[in-house]
Structure formats: C-alpha cells, structure tokens
Amino acid sequence: MVEALNYLASNILVDVDPMFKKQPICELCDQKPATTIVGYRSATGPTVSGWKYACGSCPTTPDEAKSFGFDDLFANPSATVSMLANLEDAGTTDWHSFMAMMQRLRSATNG
C-alpha cells in the first residue's frame, strides 16, 4: 500500500496544481495551462488596461506592460496583498479590466 501511494505521489499527482480546482488554460494560445497574469498597455496612454491569464511561453508583444506568475500572486495572503498594493501604487492599473480577468479566471478554475 505504501509503495502504491508513493508511486501516485511521485508520478501522477505531481501535475495537479492544488491552487485551483481546475487548471486554467492560456487565454492567448488556448492550449497550454496558464501560469501567469499579463497586463497590456492601453493604446491611448500608460494605463494597463488589458489583462489576460497566460501560459508564460506565448510570445510577448511590445504593449505588454506587467507580468507575474500565479505562484507569486497567490503564494500566500501577504504576497497577494503586496502585489495588488504595488499595482495600485503604480497608478496605471485599470481595475475594472483587472477584475474582469479575475472573474474569468475564477470561472475557468471552477472557483
């Protein structure tokens, strides 16, 4: 029995991300598991107004302004508060767009 549990833990359960009930898929390529959040600059100014969750291996574009991993943002409550406060301190985050992305992420992960 112990051998079977060790096998499961080392070979099968390794790919399960306990962060989410269901692994979200990249909004850019629609194929790979998402691991990061990416913010894009507005065409009319410095505001970061387009937010997507992405796999991290999709090509970046010149209008990409912010990028951070799920592991950084959701590491613990303190990390989440700090990351969100840093986005607010920058004064360039379109919070409506950011929260719309968070709603999509919640839906994609069965949150």
Asked if the model's pLDDT at residue 69 lies above 70, the reply is yes
- Note whether 56 and 36 are within 8 A (CB): yes
pLDDT tens readout for residues 45-59: 778 888 999 998 888
What is the pLDDT at residue 52?
93
Least confident of 42-46, 74-78, 84-88: 42-46
Output the 3-class SS for 28-39.
CCCCCECCEEEE
What is the pLDDT at residue 18?
66
Instruction: Report the candidate in 80, 103, 106, 92 with the shortest Cα–Cα distance to residue 40.
Output: 92
Which residue ranges make up each domain of the chain? 22-108
Q: Which pTM value belongs to this model? A: 0.76
Identify the sign of the CA torsion 92, 73, 35, 111: negative
Residue that is written with structure tokens 């107004």 in the block: 49
- Highest-scoring range by mean pLDDT, 58-62, 87-91, 106-110: 106-110
CA distance 32 to 20: 15
